[in-house]
Every structure is written in structure tokens, then in C-alpha cells.
Amino acid sequence: MDLSELQLFLETKAAFYNQSWFVESDPIVVPHAFTKKEDVEIAAFLTATMAWGQRKMIVAKARQLMAWMDDAPHDFVTLAGDRELQRLSQFVYRTFNGVDCQYFVAALGELYRKGGGLEGVFTQGYRKGGSVWSSLTWFREQFMAFEPMARTGKHVANVLKGSSAKRLNMFLRWMVRTEGPVDFGLWKGIPPAALQIPLDVHVGRVARELGLLQRKQDDRKAVEELTAVLKTFRPHDPVFYDYALFGLGVFEKRS
């Protein structure tokens, strides 16, 4: 199909998946259980951190973590002492274990008490460099500043080393995009036009099949290449097509 046909195809698929029913089958269902802004963004961040593997298991473990945080994540991260943090020492999801979980919660507490919270840190990073990449770089620097174990740093993407930052880019999509019932659109300091595509194996495979992506590795350069192409279709909101590419890769078999 030519570019105009491809754009129409992607628009149709994205509109189909950007619906309320999608929430129930996606990890974003976990933060959708909350209404307080800070609860939503903390639940979203922790869920996105664990967003690899089977989607049902991601949802189950994220819900377990929320329960262990008394289903009040903002209160928990800002008020938890050693006793409460110790409760998290037994949490495990794949390679994200209790030590990592305790650090993440403690670091979030520091950011919310002193650093303007997740929105404040990501937005400050965006303003420093004018891009999502500068936002992700600044966030990692601030978030990893509290002497974590070396293993914990592997759970926070380092875009300076070429990471695609799929999970953090997905988290930003959740927080920034305003169109449709799936994403929250809570943050106003980063424009949707600046977002980068959350590139996982499904999105990458479908993008290559459709001729949207030539690079073979799923890394930062591939994210930039694919996002640049999608911007030619929808300059103000390129990651809208994440729904189409992900949906085609996960829900629809393509020959």
C-alpha cells in the first residue's frame, strides 16, 4: 500500500484500539483504579517498570504491589518507614525483586517530598533539553541518586547508552496523551508532539513488516527513526499509532 493508504490503515487501527475496552486487557488498568493524581502516576510508573512478559502476570503482580502499599501509593511512598519498606522485601516479579522494589519506593518518596514528584522531575528534564530524551536522562540521574545497588539500575533505562526506554516512553504516553479514554493526560509540561514511540518486539516487528522501520535493532535509534516517520502522519501526536502497531502485533495475526 502507498503512504496515504498506510496512514489511513494505521489511523483506523489506532482508533479501534484507543477505546475503553483496551484498558481492561492492558497493564494501564492498574493505575486506572485510582483517581488521585499522585496515586495514578505512581501506580502507572511502578506498573510500567514491570511491563515485560505476559500481560496478565504484569497486571497481577502490579495489583499485588498496590495491595502491599495499602492501595494508597502516594501515602505509602511519602510516609513509609523502615517497617513498611521491609514489607516489600519479599516482592518479586521476574528480575525485579524486593531490593529493587524497596529502592524504587524509597526513591519515589524522596522525589515526592523534595523534588516535585514524578511530573516535576520529568518536566524539569524536558525543559532542560527540549526533548523526551533529555527528560529521560535527567529522570534517571535524579532517581538513581540515592545509592542503589548496582543491579537496581538495570530497571531504569539509560538512553545515553542507546536504550529504547520502551517502558518509560510508555509511561510518558500514559501521562501526557490527552486523546482517548486510555491515556490519562495528567501532565501538561511535555507536549504529545515530543513523545517517542514505546518500542517493544511487537511494535518493532509490525513496523518493519509495514516498511515504517528499517533499523534491525530495537534501540534508541530505531525509536527515533520510527517516531520520525509517524510524525509525518500526525505531527502533533505521533505515538497515537502505538495503539495500531501494538494491537496488530499482539491481537491480530499477520501473514
Cβ atoms 227, 165 nearer than 8 A: no
| Burial class of residue 161, CB neighbours in 10 A (0-12, 13-18, 19+) | exposed
Residue 236 grid cell: 502533533
The predicted model scores a pTM of 0.96
Each residue of 206-215: b (16+ CB within 10 Å) or e? Answer: bbeebebbee
Burial (CB count within 10 angstroms: exposed 0-12, middle 13-18, buried 19+), residue 130: exposed
Q: Compute the chain's Rg from CA coordinates.
A: 18
Could you tell me the end-to-end alpha-carbon distance of the chain, in angstroms, rounded to an integer?
A: 15
For 149, the grid coordinates are 545497588
Classify burial at 99, counting beta carbons within 10 Å of its beta carbon; exposed 0-12, middle 13-18, buried 19 or more: middle
pLDDT value, residue 253: 65
pLDDT at 102: 95
pLDDT given for residue 3 in this prediction:
84
The rounded average pLDDT for each run of 10 residues, N- to C-terminus, in the chain (255 residues) is 90 96 96 98 98 95 98 97 93 95 96 95 97 98 88 94 98 96 97 98 96 97 98 97 95 70
Domain locations in the chain as residue ranges = 3-250
Q: How far apart are CA 139 and CA 123, in angstroms?
A: 9
pLDDT at residue 254, as a whole number: 59
Please provide residue 78's backbone torsions phi and psi, each rounded to the nearest 5 degrees: -90, -20
